[in-house]
Structure 1
Amino acid sequence: MIEVLIIEDDRRVAEINRRFLEKMKGFKLVAIACSGEEAKEYLEVMRPQLVLLDVCLPDISGSDLVWYIRKTYQNIDIIMMTATGETGIVQEALRGGVFDYLVKPITLDRFRQSLDKYKERMQFIHSMKVMGQEEVDYLIHRGVREELEGSHTMSLPKGIDPMTLEKVERVVLGNGESGLTAEQVGRKLGASRTTARRYLEYLVSTERLRADLAYGTIGRPERRYGMKVDSM
């Protein structure tokens, strides 16, 4: 679960954000702070992974709080949620490394999109041991994935999601030459063996992966999926 701290002085807006958050799987609200001072106390005690931060607070600006978090808690990520859209404040927030900047009034769809992308990024980071240029581009330029997928997304068969397909391929390629079974890939993704195998077989059919027949400890043959020989 991704633990979240909401920092918002308007209690009505804070309640809306809380209800939005309740609709999101994989996220848990740990506290709501109504001032900068209260926020600092919760940050020290709770150590959330993600902060939903307003710019206008009664005792400190949200921009100053961004830099306080950056200096004191390097492992805490920030999404700004504010009615302030001044260019200078947006620029400062981006320089402070915020993951996203949402301008009020915020719709549930935009809220969901932001948190889904954040969760996707965390899952992606945790699945990688070493990153190449493409992986770094994906993290820094979040729109690059859509461009890379654009050439084949329209031709994907029913039941094959481009985002999941990319994750499956990265898991296999990230394992090197040894290859993985469908069950192993499923465990790494948090998916069933059947789902993993469907995506793996599609990648084999499009010649993006190879499948070899191997024998397990009890002699039963199983398919192991790995990178193609010509891509090693």
Structure 2
Amino acid sequence: MRIDEEIRTLVVDDDFRVARIHAAFVERTEGFALAGVTHGAEQAFEAIDELRPDLVLMDVHLPDGDGVGVVRDLAHSAERPDFIIITAAREVRTVRAAMQAGALHYLVKPFGYQTLREKLMAYRDLRTRMTEPAREADQAEVDALFGLLRGAALPGEAAKGPSAPTLELVRNAVRAARGDVSAAEVAEEVGVSRPTAQRYLSHLARHGVVRLQLKYGATGRPEHRYTLSDGAAK
């Protein structure tokens, strides 16, 4: 996928009203295009075969089948799209079944646009970074790839989690710096506030992607400076 290509997304939901809402959410999100809307398992199989979507937002309880079963049945298909399960089902066994079937994520209804948008943008970031098959990934990179859709919470952002695209921008700003860099310098480079840059840098430091260094000036108060960790710099 080229970075400028839109991600064609199919919405599958038995509730016509909810399907329209989620379709509208997809259409509002930059980098995504609505490929179609279906309301049953058989329709989903037909739409996937005909439309070849990149991503499917899949409901679980469908009038003629099980959405997780659709994901499982397509596990070995050469043209298999990616799946995010979107359902009101909260049973742990259903969550486990979705994971085992190969779903990338699981969103519990109801949720607002911002929640879905963050998952879609994280998916877009993941998809973009996975288009380099010859690229080698160190452990920090592997951890980042596996964690993109999960969105582990930053301080003060427990409800929504960090934005994966912003995390990548902050990481790239540290990578591009000549030597160490401060939160204020990262904020200016990325275009966010200094407190936001500080929170993202702290998150990356906790996960070993960047390294925190304290530098003492004339006032005696240490300044926090950041460099990319040795493993993440490759």
Q: When the two structures are superposed, what TM-score results if normalisation uses the length of structure 1? A: 0.64
Q: Deviations over 1:81-128 (max 9, x none)?
A: 111111101001011221111111121121112111111111222357
- In the other structure, the counterpart of 2:110 is 105
Relative distance call for 1:146 and 1:53 in structure 2 (3 A) is closer
* Shift in Å, 1:34: 1.3
Count of residues paired in the alignment: 176
Q: Any unmatched runs of 5+ in structure 1?
A: 151-160, 173-197, 210-227
Contact residue 3 and residue 30 of structure 1 kept, 8 A: yes
Contact residue 138 and residue 145 of structure 1 kept, 8 A: no
Contact residue 105 and residue 149 of structure 2 kept, 8 A: no
Relative distance call for 1:46 and 1:17 in structure 2 (3 A) is same
Residue 24 in 1 paired to residue 47 in 2?
A: no
Residue 58 in 1 paired to residue 63 in 2?
A: yes
* Shift in Å, 1:71: 2.4
More relative contact order, 1 or 2 (CA 8 Å, 6+ apart): 2
Contact residue 174 and residue 226 of structure 2 kept, 8 A: no
Relative distance call for 1:35 and 1:143 in structure 2 (3 A) is closer
**In 1, distance between residues paired with 2:129 and 2:121?**
12
Between structure 1 and structure 2, the one with the greater Rg is: 1
Q: Which amino acid aligns with 1:33?
A: T
* Shift in Å, 1:162: 4.5
Relative distance call for 1:146 and 1:124 in structure 2 (3 A) is farther
Q: When the two structures are superposed, what TM-score results if normalisation uses the length of structure 2? A: 0.63
**In 2, distance between residues paired with 1:14 and 1:35?**
11
- In the other structure, the counterpart of 2:140 is 134
Q: Any unmatched runs of 5+ in structure 2?
A: 1-5, 156-165, 177-188, 191-209, 211-224
Residues 1-232 of structure 1 aligned to structure 2 (within 5 Å): 1-73=6-78, 75-126=80-131, 129-142=135-148, 162-167=167-172, 198=189, 208=227
Relative distance call for 1:90 and 1:107 in structure 2 (3 A) is same
Relative distance call for 1:145 and 1:102 in structure 2 (3 A) is closer
* Shift in Å, 1:163: 2.8
